[in-house]
Amino acid sequence: MLNIRYEKTTAPKELPAADNPLKFGTIFTDHMFLMDYEEGKGWHDARIVPYGPISLEPSAMVFHYGQEMFEGLKAYKTEDGRTLLFRPNKNAERANNSNKRLCIPTIPEEDFAQAVKAMVKMDERWIPTKPGTSLYIRPFVIATDPFLGVRPSNRYLFAVILSPVGAYYPEGLNPVKIWIEDEYVRAIKGGIGEAKTGGNYVASLASQVKAHEEGYSQVLWLDGKERKYIEEVGAMNIFFKINGKVLTPELNGSILPGVTRDSVISLCKHWNVPVEERRISVEELYEAGKDGSLEEVFGTGTAAVISPVGHLRFEDHVLMVGDGGIGEFSQKIYDTITGIQLGKVEDTLGWTVE
Ligand code: PMP
C-alpha cells in the first residue's frame, strides 16, 4: 500500500466547455501522480502534485536509448454517477510484462492500481459525461539516470496523467480503411513488439504517414519474417469473422496483448461463438473475401473499443468487406463492452472496478 503525499493545486483549471470535442490527448487535468525509483531504495515518494512540467537532465537515459513503458486505460461515469474503471488489473499486469522486457523494475500491481484510482478520484470532476466520452488514463515509466552509457538505468520516474477524451465515433460506428503494410515491419519475434513502449510506435510512423497520404486511416502489420501473416493494426488488435467463426492472430511475441482483444475472446467463449487464436495469412483473408465467407473485420482497442473495417488494401489489391457497412457481430460486441463500461449492461464477467 502506497503512502501517497498530496499537494493540491491552488489554481484549478477551468473545465472544457460542453461543446469542446475533446480531441484525443490534448487536454490534461489538474494533477499528476509521480513516484521515484532508485537502486537500493526501490519505489518511493509516491505523490499527487499539480500537473506541470517535470525537470530532467538532458543526459537522462530515456532521451537517448528509449527505456520507457506506457499504458492506456479509461475511467467512465455511469448515469447514476458512479465512476468505473475497465479491467485495470490487466493493465497493471501488462505494465509489468513490459517492464520486465525493458529491464525496468516492476511496480506491485496493487500499487499501480492504487495510483490510478487515487488520480481518478482526485480529478474526478474532469470525467466527461456525454455519450462516448471518457477520462483517458496514461501511466508511464521513464529512465531518468543522467548517464550516456548503454545499460539499464538505476533511476526511474513512474507517472500517471489524465486526459478527458471525446467520443471516437460521435455519429455511431464508422468503418475504417486499412493499409496492409508490405514495405516496413513493426516488430519481430524476440524483439519488443509485445511490450508497450515508445520504440514500437516510432517504428510505425513512416508507414502511418505513407498510409495517410494514400487515404488510409491505419496500417495493418504483417509478421517481420515471412511478411505473410497478419499481426495487428497501429493501435488495435484485429479480428475476422469468417464462415461464422471469429478469428484473431495468436499472441506470438511480436503482438501487443490487448485488453479489449482479451475481452472480445472471453465474450465469444461466454456466448458460445466459435473463436480461434491462430496464424492467419493475407492470402487466407483475400481468399475468404473472394469466396464470400468473409463476413466481418474489426479492430479492437481502448480508444475506439471496436473499429469496423470496411476496406483493406494489400499491394494493388483492394478488398471490400461485405457491403462496407457495420457488421452485426461488430455492433453486438461494441454495444456489450461499452454497455458494461458504462454500467448499463450487467457485468457478468466482473470486469469493472468502482
Ligand atoms: N495493439 C497496439 C499496438 C496498441 O497500441 C493497442 C492499444 N493499447 C492495442 C493493440 C489494443 O490494446 P488495448 O485493447 O489494451 O487498448
pLDDT of 35 higher than 80: yes
Q: Comparing C-alpha atoms, which of 301, 309, 283, 168 is closest to residue 234?
A: 301
List pLDDT tens digits, range 241-288: 999 999 999 999 999 999 999 999 999 999 999 999 999 999 999 999
Which residue has its alpha carbon closest to ligand 1 atom 2? Answer: 235
pLDDT average, residue stretch 122-151: 97
ipTM attached to this prediction? 0.99
Predicted TM-score (pTM) of the model is 0.97
Compute the distance from residue 232 Cα to the ligand 1 centre, in Å.
Answer: 9
pLDDT of 189 higher than 90: yes
The DSSP symbol for 104 reads P
Predicted local confidence at residue 36, as pLDDT: 98
**Ligand 1 binding residues, C-beta < 6 A:** 72, 232, 235-237, 256, 258-261, 300-302
Do residues 296 and 315 touch, judged by C-beta distance below 8 A? no
Pocket test for ligand 1, best of 237, 298, 341 (most atoms within 8 A of CB): 237
Compute the distance from residue 258 Cα to the ligand 1 centre, in Å.
Answer: 5
Compute the distance from residue 237 Cα to the ligand 1 centre, in Å.
Answer: 6
pLDDT average, residue stretch 315-319: 94
Do residues 125 and 15 touch, judged by C-beta distance below 8 A? yes
> What phi, psi does 156 have (nearest 5°)?
-140, 160
Mean pLDDT, the chain, rounded, equals 96
pLDDT interval class at 138 (50, 70, 90): very high
List pLDDT tens digits, range 326-347: 899 999 999 999 999 999 999 9
- Residue for grid cell 484510482: 117
